[in-house]
Structure 1
Amino acid sequence: MMLDESKVRKLERDLVFFFIVLITFCKSFAVAAFHYYGNQAYYYVIFDTVLFVFPIIYFSIKYKSMDKQNDEINKKMEHYTQIVDNTSAALWSYDIHTKQFYFSKGVSKLFGYKHNYLSYDPEKRWIGAVHPRDLSIVGELMEDVAIGLDTSKEFRIILPNKEVKWIQMTGSPYYSRIGMLDKVTGVVIEITEQIKYKEKFQYLAHHDPLTELPNRTYLKNHLKLEEKNLPFSLLFIDLDRFKIVNDTQGHEFGDLLLIEVSKRFKQCIYGKDSLIRYGGDEFIIILDNADKEETIEICKKIIHEFREPFIIKGLEFFSSPSIGIGLYPLDGKSMEEIIQAADTAMYHAKENGRNNYKFFKSSLNEVNRRKLQLENRMRRGLENKEFYVQYQPKVRLSDDKVVGMEALMRWSSSELGEISPVEFIPLAEELGIIVEMGEWILQEAAAQCKQWQEEGLTELTVSVNISPVQFKDQKFVTRVLHVLQQTGLQPEYLEIELTESIMQDIENAKFVLECLQEIGVKVAIDDFGTGYSSLNYLRHLPINTLKIDKSFIHGINTKEDEESIVKTIVYMGHNMKFEVVAEGIENASQLRFLQDLNCEIGQGFYFSKPLTYEDFVQRYVSSSAEGTLLKS
C-alpha cells in the first residue's frame, strides 16, 4: 500500500520541528557548560555535538528507508496502473467539491479521445459523445452521482470516427472521515459485444429461424391489442396437404417449401401489415385498419398467387392456402380470442373444399364443440366396440353376379348416435388414430370375407380403403401379412384401395406396391380422375384396378364432358390392362352406358346400398347357389 502523501509531509514537518528544538537545547546546554566549567567545557561540547549529530544520522537513515519503501510502492502502483490502462475498462472519479471528472488512460480506448480531454468540462466533452437517444439515461446517472447513490447505467457513445459503442458505467460513493460525501468512483467498460449477443438472442426468441419471420412469441409479446386503437383483420392460414409433402418428400423439402411460401405471402401484403409464422405450416397475417372488402381482396390475391407452382429442387409442387378470418373487435376483445375465431374459420374453409377463405361466424363455435365431442368419444368408441363394418356389393356388369364387396367403416356412438364417415375419418387422421382404426377394419373385413367364402361365396373378394397416413406407415406391409395369416384369407381375395395422393411420393409408393404385389394382394386406385395421377406413373406402378369417381358417373346422359371423361378412363384402363370399376351407379341408363363401354365392375345404390352383416347374409350368402344378385 502506498504511503499517504499528507502523512509524509506531516512527518517531515515534525522532524524539522524536533531538530530545531534539539539544536536550541544543545546550544543552550553548551553555553551554560562553558560558563560554569571553564576549560573543562569541551567535554560537554563533545557531548552536545554527539547528541545533535546522532538524531540527524538516525532520522536520515530512517527517512531514506521510508523513501525507498515509498519508491517500491510507487513502482507497484505504476505497474497496476499500466495493467488497468491496457484493459478495455477505464476507472473514473467525480469530485463532489470541484464538480470535476477524472479518468484513467483506458478511457481513450473507449471514447477515442486523449484521456485528459474528457476530464474537463464533461458536459461538452464526454457527455457530448453520448448518443442523443441515451442522454436521458446519462442524466439519471448524473443525478445518482450528485447525491452519492450507487449507480449502473448502459448507454451508447459515438466515437470521433462515427463508430457507435455500448458502454456500462458503474459508480459508488466515497465518504470522508466525518461522513461527508467526498467523491464518487467507478468503472467504465465496453459492452458492445454483450449487447449484440443479447439482441441476437432476443431476435431468435421472437423470430422463426427457418423463414426469419416473427413467431408466436413475438405475436404474444409485441402485438398487444391495447397498442392497436384501430380495427384489423387477422388471417389464419394453413397450407393444404403440407403434411403429405413433409412426410413423403422429407423435412428438408418441406422446409424449403415453407421458405418459398413465406416469400410469396410477403408479395401479397403491404409494409404496415404483419406476417407471422405461427407454427408448422400455419401462418398469421394481420391487416391493420382493413375493412371487409380490403380483407377479401388480399385473400383473393393470396389464393391467386398460389396457383403458380413452387419449384423445389427442380420439382414442381402445388400448394394451396385455407384461410380463416377473424375481425377485431367484432370477433373478440383479446388477441387470443381473435386467433381462435380465425382458426375456427380456417377449419371451416378446409371442410368446404380447401383453397378458399371463410369469415368467422358465431355458429362455427357449434362446429368446434361438435368436433371436441367427437375427439373425446372416438378413442372410447374404439375401446367400446362402437365401430362396425358395412359392405357394399361389387357387381360384374356382364351378368349381374356379385364378385366382391367394399368394406366401409361406420360408427354408432352410444351417446351421439350415427356419425358420418365424412365427419369422423378426417378427424381420426388428424388425431393420429387412423392407423389403429384402419388395422381394425382390415382385420374385420378379411375375417368376414373368409367366413363367407366358406359359406358358399367362394370367389368373393373384399376391398378395404387405406388412408394415406396408414399407407405411409413403415409397418403397413407387415400388418397386411399379419392379417392374412391370422384370418387365413388368400392374398388374391384382398384388394387395397388407395387414393391418387400416393403419387406425391412415387418412390415410396412404388416400393410398397411392389411388396403387396409380391404377396399377391391386389391394388385399386380409388376416385380416379380427381387427384394427382400421371399416366406415366400409372404405367410403371403395379396396379390392378381403376375406380372411376362417382362424380363422373353422375354426369352420364346429362353432361357430355363427363361422358367423355368416363369413356377416356375406360379405354385407357383397358389399354393399360387395368380392370375398371364404376362407382356411384344410380340408374339403368348409367348402367347401359357403362355396359356398352365393356366396363367390368360396378357398384352403387342401383344395385345395393352398403349393408350390415345381417342384411348381406340374408341377401347374398343364402342365395349363393344361384350366384346372382337379388335386386332390392
Structure 2
Amino acid sequence: MPMELQGQYHLGLVILSYFVAVLASYTALDLAGRVTAANGSARKLWLVCGAIAMGSGIWSMHFIGMLAFHLSIPARYEYGIVLLSYVIAVLSSGIALYVVSRESLRLHSLLGGGLLMGAGITAMHYVGMAAMRLDADLTYDPLLWGVSAFIAVGASMAALALAFYFRSARSRLYLYGKLGSGFIMGAAIAGMHYTGMYAARFRTDAELGVHAGHATNANGLAYVVALAALIVLGFVLLAAVFDKRLASQSARLTESEQQFQSLFDNNSDAVFSMDAYGNLIGVNPAVEAITGYPPSHFKGRTLTDIAADNREKALYHFYRMLEGRSEKYELTIVRRDGQTVELSLHLVPISIQGRVVGAYCLARDMTESKRAERRMHHLAYHDELTGLPNRRSFMDAVDERLAAGIDGSGQFALFSVNLDRFKSFSHMVGHTVGDKLLRSFAERFRESAGRSGDGAIPARMGGDEFACLVFLHTEEEAARVAAELIRLDRPFVIDGREYHLAASVGYALYPLHGADGESLLKKAQTALDHAKKRGGSQTRVYDATMEDALERKLEIEEGLRKAIERGELLVYYQPQVELKSGALIGAEALVRWKHPDKGLVPPGQFIPVAEETGLIKPIGEWVLREACRQAKAWQDAGHPPITVSVNLSNRQFEEQHLAQTVGDVLAECGLDPSYLELEITESMAMDVMRTLPALENLKGLGIQISIDDFGTGYSSLSYLKRFPIDKIKIDRSFVQDIAHPSESDTAIVSAIVAVAHHLKLKVIAEGVETAEQLEFLRQQRCDLLQGYYYSPPVPADRFEQLIRDFPGRSTPA
C-alpha cells in the first residue's frame, strides 16, 4: 500500500538559504541603481550581469532550500532540468531589473512586471523540484501551490517597488532602508520557496524497499552552492561599489566641467582660453558682444595681435604669467565698428604638475566705468555749469605755480571777480536764463584770461564769483588785465534777448601781498569787497588798510551774534504825523544796538553786516514781534491805537512762509492786523511774478503795505498799479534837497504825490527836519510826515510820552 514520506529540514541550511535570499535581494536593490545610472552599452552590460547575479542568488537560495530537505529515500537531480530552472531565475531577474531601471514605474508596469517575475520564480521553483529523481511519486497540494504562486507574485511586486524606490540615494538613511528592504524581500522569497516545499507530497510503495542508487551528498553540495552564490553576489556587489564610486567621481567631474562650461559661456566678462604659447584656442560668447568679432576671428591669434596699443605690456604680463603668477593689467582694443574698448585683464595660469600649460584671460569691459571715472575726476576739479576749473583745482594750480617760483623779473596777480547784483538779477529773469548768462560770461572770461598772458588760469569759485591767476612782467599790467577781465561792453544774447551785466574785480600780487595761494585769494577778495562797496563796476588792488575795515566788519559780526543772544538790541520809534490834522497817527519801528562797551552802534555800521551774513532774518523777526507787542501794550494802557510800521529785509521777503510768520506774530501779540504796516523797497518789487503773490498773501492778513525809499530805485508805474499797496514813502534825499529847491526836485516830489493820489495811495515823506520842508510838502498836498522836525527815533517809554503830549488824534492811516 503506498505510503507518504515525511521529510526533515537541516536548520543550518535553512538559515543559510535565507541569508543567500537576503544577500540576493540587497544585490538586486543595489543593481537597480547601477542599471539606472548607466547608459548605452554599460547599461546593457549591467543589466546582463545584474540578471545573472540576482538570478544566481535567487536560484541558489532555492537550491539550498531543496538540499536542506531530507527524505528517508535517496534523491538524485537531473542536471539539465536544474540548469533550466537556473535560466528561468536569470530571465526573471532580468525582467525585474529592466522594469525598475525605467524612468517611471506606472501601476500597469508594476503589475505586469510583478506577474512575469512571480511567474518566473514560481516556474524556477517547480522546475527545480521536477529535477529531483526519487523512488516516490511527487504531487502538490493545489491550495498551497496557489498560495506559493501568490506569494511569488506579491513578493515580486514588492521587490520591484522597493528596488525602484531605492535605486537612487534619497537621504542619509538610504543605506539602512535598503538593508531592511533586503531582509523583507529575502523573507518573502524564502517564504514562497518553503510554502512551495510544504505543498509537495511524496508517496512510495512500502513493498519496493529502498534502492541505493547514486545518492548526492546534500549538505556538502548545499555549502558548495552557497559558497558559489556568495562569491558571485559578493563579486557583483564589489563591482557595483567600485563602479558607483567611479560613477560618482565621474559625475562630480562632469558636473564640475558643466559648471565651468556654464560659467565660461554665461560669464558677462569676456573669457579667452590660450595655450602656453599665447595662442587663443577658445573664447566665450561675451567676447563677441564686447569686441564685435565672431569667435572664429580669434582662433590662432594672440592678445598682442588684438591690442590697440602697448603690445609690449601685454607680452610682459604674459611672460610673467608663464612663471605661475596671476597677472592683472589694462589693455585697449579696437572693436569691429572702430570704437576703442578699455579692458581690465586678469591672466590666470593653468598649471599641471607644476608646469604652466596654458591660461585663461578674464577681460572686463571698463569703457563706461573709465568714462564715468574720468567724468567724476573732471567734475571733482571743474565746474559743471561752465566747464572752468573749480575752486579746488584752481587753488592746487595756484600753489603749484607759486611753488615753482618766478624766473627772473615778474610777478603773479590773482584776480577775484564778482558779477554785480547778479543774485537779484537772476531772481528777476529766472534761474534758467541766469545759468545761461553765467555760461556766456564764463566763456568770455576764459577768452579775456587767455589774452591776459601766457598760462593764465581762469576758474569759477562758486555762484557768481570767478578768479584768475596771471603772470605779469610789471605791476602796472595788473590794472590793465583787471579792466580787461570785467570789460562787458557787449551785451549777452540769451534766447533772442539782450542782457547787460556788470562786474567788479579785486586783485592781489605775489609775492608783494602774499606768500601762498590762500592768503593771496583772501586779500584779492578783500579788495573785491571794497570795489563792490564803491558801487560796482570797479577795480581795486589790495591795500593793507583794507584789513582794518575787514577786521571791523568781523568784529561787528561777532558782536552782533552775541547781541542777539544777550538781548542788546532795542527798538526805537519815530512818529508819523498826519499833515492835515497834525495828529500823531503812526510810528516807524527802527532797530538799535546798544553795545555794552561802545554804547549805541549806528545802524549804518551793523545793518549792512547783518544783511550780508544773514543775521538780518532773526533780527527782522524779533523787531516785528517786539513792535507788535509794544503797539498792543500802548493800546492796553489806554492810548489811542496807532499804526506801527516795520521794514522787511530782502531775506525776510524771500521767505516762503512769510505771511504765516506775520500772522503767527499778530496772533501771539493780540494786535489787530490793521495797525501793522510792512515796508518793502523798490528792489524787492523787481520780480513781479514772485512779489505779487507774496504781497497778496500779506494783504490777505488785513495789514497795510508801503513802498519805502520811492524814487531811488527801479520806480515803475506798472507795479504801483498792480501791487496791493497802501502808501508810498518819498525818500529823504528828495526831502533834504527841498531846502534849496530846484525845478527838478520840486517836479519829482510833485510827480510822486500826483501819481500816488491818482492811484488812491497815500504819500508819506521822511526826513522832514525844517519848517520850510514842511511848508513845501503841505503845498504839494503830502499826506503824512516823518522826521526830526517832530522827533528823532526814541525808545518806547519816551515815545509813549510823545503820544500823551501830541494834540488830537485822527483815525489810523
Mapping of residues 154-165 of structure 1, within 5 Å: 154-157=330-333, 163-165=339-341
Deviation at 1:387, TM superposition (A): 0.4
2:756 maps to 1:581 = no
State the alpha-carbon separation in 1 of the partners of residues 358 and 599 from structure 2.
Answer: 81
Residue 90 of structure 1, aligned match among 264, 269, 272: 272
2:419 maps to 1:234 = no
Secondary structure of the structure 2 residue equivalent to 1:267 = helix
State the partner residue of 1:568: 751
State the alpha-carbon separation in 1 of the partners of residues 320 and 529 from structure 2.
Answer: 58
Deviation at 1:275, TM superposition (A): 4.0
2:771 maps to 1:553 = no
State the alpha-carbon separation in 2 of the partners of residues 86 and 583 from structure 1.
Answer: 79
Q: Is the 8 A contact 1:403 1:461 kept in 2?
A: yes
Deviates more, 1:543-552 or 1:212-221: 212-221
- Distance change in 2, residues 1:617/1:319 (3 Å): farther
State the alpha-carbon separation in 1 of the partners of residues 263 and 514 from structure 2.
Answer: 65
State the partner residue of 2:630: 448
State the partner residue of 2:241: none
Amino acid at match of 2:793: P
Q: Is the 8 A contact 1:245 1:254 kept in 2?
A: no
Secondary structure of the structure 1 residue equivalent to 2:330 = strand
Deviation at 1:499, TM superposition (A): 0.5
State the alpha-carbon separation in 2 of the partners of residues 136 and 500 from structure 1.
Answer: 72
Residue 166 of structure 1, aligned match among 333, 342, 354: 342
Deviation at 1:498, TM superposition (A): 0.8
State the partner residue of 1:259: 436
State the partner residue of 1:471: 653
Deviation at 1:508, TM superposition (A): 4.1
State the alpha-carbon separation in 2 of the partners of residues 173 and 310 from structure 1.
Answer: 64
2:679 maps to 1:509 = no
State the partner residue of 1:435: 617
Q: Is the 8 A contact 2:273 2:360 kept in 1?
A: yes
2:403 maps to 1:196 = no
Larger Rg, first or second structure (1 or 2): 2
**Structure 1 unpaired stretches of 5+:** 1-68, 96-100
Deviation at 1:284, TM superposition (A): 2.4
Q: Is the 8 A contact 1:582 1:602 kept in 2?
A: yes
State the alpha-carbon separation in 2 of the partners of residues 267 and 220 from structure 1.
Answer: 21
- Distance change in 2, residues 1:411/1:213 (3 Å): same
Deviates more, 1:485-494 or 1:460-469: 485-494
Q: Is the 8 A contact 1:211 1:259 kept in 2?
A: no
2:778 maps to 1:601 = no
Q: Is the 8 A contact 1:394 1:406 kept in 2?
A: yes
Deviation at 1:500, TM superposition (A): 1.2
Q: Is the 8 A contact 1:169 1:186 kept in 2?
A: no
Secondary structure of the structure 2 residue equivalent to 1:448 = helix
State the partner residue of 2:201: none
Amino acid at match of 1:438: G
State the partner residue of 2:394: 219
State the alpha-carbon separation in 1 of the partners of residues 490 and 612 from structure 2.
Answer: 26
**Structure 2 unpaired stretches of 5+:** 1-249
Aligned-residue identity in percent: 31
Deviation at 1:244, TM superposition (A): 4.7
State the alpha-carbon separation in 2 of the partners of residues 141 and 369 from structure 1.
Answer: 62
Amino acid at match of 2:416: F
Q: Is the 8 A contact 1:246 1:254 kept in 2?
A: yes
Deviation at 1:611, TM superposition (A): 2.2
- Distance change in 2, residues 1:140/1:244 (3 Å): farther
- Distance change in 2, residues 1:287/1:254 (3 Å): same
State the partner residue of 2:596: 414
- Distance change in 2, residues 1:392/1:213 (3 Å): same
Q: Is the 8 A contact 1:257 1:310 kept in 2?
A: no
State the alpha-carbon separation in 2 of the partners of residues 447 and 193 from structure 1.
Answer: 64
Deviation at 1:223, TM superposition (A): 5.5
State the alpha-carbon separation in 2 of the partners of residues 367 and 111 from structure 1.
Answer: 68
Secondary structure of the structure 2 residue equivalent to 1:269 = helix
Amino acid at match of 2:514: G
Deviation at 1:391, TM superposition (A): 1.9
Secondary structure of the structure 1 residue equivalent to 2:512 = coil
Deviates more, 1:161-170 or 1:502-511: 161-170
2:565 maps to 1:383 = yes
CA deviations on 1:98-134 (whole Å, 9 max, x unpaired) are: xxx5444659976989657755xx9xx749x653xx5
Secondary structure of the structure 1 residue equivalent to 2:805 = coil
Deviation at 1:137, TM superposition (A): 5.5
Deviation at 1:353, TM superposition (A): 3.0
Mapping of residues 486-505 of structure 1, within 5 Å: 486-505=668-687
State the alpha-carbon separation in 2 of the partners of residues 504 and 347 from structure 1.
Answer: 24
Residue 152 of structure 1, aligned match among 302, 306, 328: 328
State the alpha-carbon separation in 2 of the partners of residues 586 and 323 from structure 1.
Answer: 40
State the partner residue of 2:796: 613
Counting matched residue pairs gives 537
Amino acid at match of 1:476: L
Amino acid at match of 1:235: F
Deviation at 1:563, TM superposition (A): 4.2
State the alpha-carbon separation in 1 of the partners of residues 513 and 797 from structure 2.
Answer: 50
2:638 maps to 1:461 = no
Q: Is the 8 A contact 1:457 1:624 kept in 2?
A: no
Deviation at 1:409, TM superposition (A): 0.2
State the alpha-carbon separation in 1 of the partners of residues 737 and 539 from structure 2.
Answer: 28
Residue 361 of structure 2, aligned match among 177, 180, 187: 187
State the partner residue of 1:480: 662
Q: Is the 8 A contact 1:528 1:549 kept in 2?
A: yes
Deviation at 1:518, TM superposition (A): 4.3
Q: Is the 8 A contact 2:617 2:652 kept in 1?
A: yes
State the alpha-carbon separation in 2 of the partners of residues 259 and 561 from structure 1.
Answer: 40
Secondary structure of the structure 2 residue equivalent to 1:268 = helix
State the alpha-carbon separation in 2 of the partners of residues 118 and 223 from structure 1.
Answer: 50
Q: Is the 8 A contact 1:268 1:301 kept in 2?
A: no
Amino acid at match of 2:413: S
Q: Is the 8 A contact 2:635 2:641 kept in 1?
A: yes
Q: Is the 8 A contact 2:594 2:601 kept in 1?
A: yes
State the alpha-carbon separation in 1 of the partners of residues 760 and 369 from structure 2.
Answer: 71
- Distance change in 2, residues 1:625/1:194 (3 Å): closer
Secondary structure of the structure 1 residue equivalent to 2:652 = helix
Deviation at 1:204, TM superposition (A): 3.5
State the alpha-carbon separation in 2 of the partners of residues 139 and 417 from structure 1.
Answer: 82
State the alpha-carbon separation in 2 of the partners of residues 187 and 303 from structure 1.
Answer: 58
Mapping of residues 352-371 of structure 1, within 5 Å: 352-371=534-553
Deviation at 1:603, TM superposition (A): 2.7
Deviation at 1:541, TM superposition (A): 1.4
State the alpha-carbon separation in 2 of the partners of residues 521 and 86 from structure 1.
Answer: 69
State the alpha-carbon separation in 1 of the partners of residues 262 and 662 from structure 2.
Answer: 81
State the alpha-carbon separation in 1 of the partners of residues 651 and 382 from structure 2.
Answer: 31
State the alpha-carbon separation in 2 of the partners of residues 136 and 332 from structure 1.
Answer: 49
State the alpha-carbon separation in 2 of the partners of residues 454 and 579 from structure 1.
Answer: 28
Mapping of residues 131-150 of structure 1, within 5 Å: 131=309, 134=310, 141=317
Deviation at 1:528, TM superposition (A): 1.0
State the alpha-carbon separation in 2 of the partners of residues 614 and 154 from structure 1.
Answer: 82
Q: Is the 8 A contact 1:233 1:289 kept in 2?
A: yes
State the alpha-carbon separation in 2 of the partners of residues 523 and 332 from structure 1.
Answer: 50
Deviation at 1:157, TM superposition (A): 5.0
Mapping of residues 26-65 of structure 1, within 5 Å: none
Q: Is the 8 A contact 1:87 1:106 kept in 2?
A: no
- Distance change in 2, residues 1:522/1:167 (3 Å): closer
